[in-house]
Amino acid sequence: MISSDTGVRRVVIVGGGPAGLMAAEILAQGGKNDQIQVDLYDAMPSVGRKFLLAGKGGMNITHAEPFEAFLTRYGARRAQLAPLLEAFGPEALRQWAAGLGVATFVGSSGRVFPADMKAAPLLRAWLQRLRAAGVRFHMRQRWRGWDDDGALRFAAADGAALVRPDAVVLALGGGSWARLGSDGAWLPLLAARGVEVAPLQPSNCGFECAWSAHFSSRYAGSPLSTVALSLAGGDAQMPPRKGQFVITEHGVEGSLIYAFSAAIRDAIAARGSATVLLDLAPDWTLERVSAELHRPRGARSIASHLQSRLNIGGVKSGLLRELVSKEDFAQPAVLAARIKALPLTLSAARPLDEAISSAGGVRFEALGPDLMLKALPGVFCAGEMLDWEAPTGGYLLSACFASGRAAGRGALEWLQRSGA
């Protein structure tokens, strides 16, 4: 058991993702002259596993759009996250990466990447700096809550351990990608201690729809590029967005779907299903589409006519056949309207463990402005275990870094105030 009887104040970080590592860095830096020992515990054999996997296709760490637009990506939790992101926003994050020797660049979409597009070099340099600052890492240690005397309980292959630090930062992740460590098992542990939590839900996820066997077998795995999507009955704050997504065996997934995932999920919860509208020719007006469809096609099939006049073929043509009745397909004006606003009904989100991220978790109402739990003084929370969500594009990592920094600073100030 660790205690404070040596005069060295000890802080335990639980969770080795970006939020936990950032909290550890802030505490290690701030505690150099105050004799603070930082110990980081994680259930996995190594830290940053989800971080590394997310970087396999190109490590998108933040976004370079104007800051006011950036904040809107956090939806209902914008007000709570704004102070954290103002203190450590996209530009500060890029400067921090540069301090680790990792240059970044802004892609054509505004997304920010390391120069080599990889996560591993950044993580290696970061861990080297943390170890040099005195942070100690304890791997394969699964947190099991508290014992009756308030000590942290950890389980490992070689037995259980009790740890009694002076402050704790919990950065345990959400509920997606459980194989990488974020399984949401912490939620009932906090709820049992009187912490207000919201159920975990999939975010940045795919959705199910009832494809015919013919369509699914032929087009599952096919990408739809150069399309626009809007939510039927959605509000003006969610205008149509252009992008791409993928047809799956069960429905749809991909970046354009993820951008609407929170609204789609909430609509399904409220009404049992959600309808999105697909614009298969977003660069063309309805009038132009209609004019092209009304041109004589002679002996050509309607499929050939769509391909030659509107460049609609392959999976786009298949979608029209799947979702438009034969009667409507035969009427050029009606078909033009469907091409510009093709209704697709989604019935359910895919399972949480398949999602890129999760919504729900520790409610901000359970936290002080320093991210300390009101029900558990000296215990701070950060990262995806907090009740917020954001689309892909660097927004998830940005808020994880910012909240980890805020929790680390909160813990440091708590130690100073309490004289622990």
Query: What does each C-alpha distance from 320 to 64, 220, 228, 233, 325 come to in angstroms?
Result: 37, 15, 15, 21, 9
* 135 and 127 Cβ atoms separated by less than 8 Å: no
Give the per-residue pLDDT at 147: 94
Residue 159: pLDDT band with limits 50, 70, 90: confident
* 385 and 173 Cβ atoms separated by less than 8 Å: yes
* 134 and 38 Cβ atoms separated by less than 8 Å: yes
Give the per-residue pLDDT at 66: 96
Run of H or E including 155: strand 152-156
Give the per-residue pLDDT at 330: 87
Question: Could you tell me the two tokens for 35?
Answer: 């004799």
Give the per-residue pLDDT at 417: 86
How far is it, in rounded angstroms, from Cα 235 to Cα 199? 25
Closest CA to 156 of 139, 180, 137: 139
Give mean pLDDT, residues 318-341. 93
Give the per-residue pLDDT at 179: 83
For the ranges 209-213, 253-257, 280-284, 291-295, which has the lowest average pLDDT? 291-295
Q: Is the pLDDT of residue 2 over 50?
A: no
For the ranges 130-144, 227-241, 391-405, which has the lowest average pLDDT? 227-241
* 349 and 202 Cβ atoms separated by less than 8 Å: yes
3-state class of 260 per DSSP?
coil
Q: Give me the residue label for tokens 């993928």.
A: 246
How far is it, in rounded angstroms, from Cα 115 to Cα 112? 9
Sign, CA torsion 114/119/125/127: positive
Query: What does each C-alpha distance from 298 to 294, 305, 326 come to in angstroms?
Result: 12, 9, 19
Question: Could you tell me the two tokens for 237?
Answer: 């704050």
pLDDT tens-digit readout, 194-221: 999 999 999 999 999 999 999 999 999 9
What is the side-by-side order of every strand in the sheet holding 136-138?
Answer: 136-138, 36-41, 9-14, 167-170, 379-381
* 172 and 144 Cβ atoms separated by less than 8 Å: no
Q: Give me the residue label for tokens 């292959």.
A: 157
The domains of the chain, with CATH numbers, are 9-203+356-418 (3.50.50.60), 207-349 (no CATH)
Q: Is the pLDDT of residue 310 over 80?
A: yes
How far is it, in rounded angstroms, from Cα 267 to Cα 232? 10
Cβ-Cβ contacts under 8 Å for 104 (sequence gap 6 or more): 61, 94, 97, 98, 112, 113, 114, 115
Give the per-residue pLDDT at 3: 43
Mean pLDDT of the chain: 92
How far is it, in rounded angstroms, from Cα 230 to Cα 316? 17
How far is it, in rounded angstroms, from Cα 385 to Cα 297? 57
Q: Is the pLDDT of residue 6 over 70?
A: no
Residue predicted with more confidence, 376 or 393 = 376
Residue predicted with more confidence, 374 or 30 = 374
How far is it, in rounded angstroms, from Cα 187 to Cα 172? 10
For the ranges 9-18, 204-213, 228-237, which has the lowest average pLDDT? 228-237
* 62 and 110 Cβ atoms separated by less than 8 Å: no
* 101 and 125 Cβ atoms separated by less than 8 Å: yes
Q: Give me the residue label for tokens 């460049």.
A: 311
Question: Could you tell me the two tokens for 61?
Answer: 């760490």
Share of the chain above pLDDT 70, in %: 96
Q: Is the pLDDT of residue 186 over 70?
A: yes
How far is it, in rounded angstroms, from Cα 260 to Cα 346? 12
Out of 61-70, 153-162, 299-308, the most confident range is 61-70
Cβ-Cβ contacts under 8 Å for 84 (sequence gap 6 or more): 399, 402, 403, 405, 406
Residue predicted with more confidence, 81 or 303 = 81
Residue predicted with more confidence, 347 or 50 = 347
Closest CA to 342 of 258, 240, 265: 240
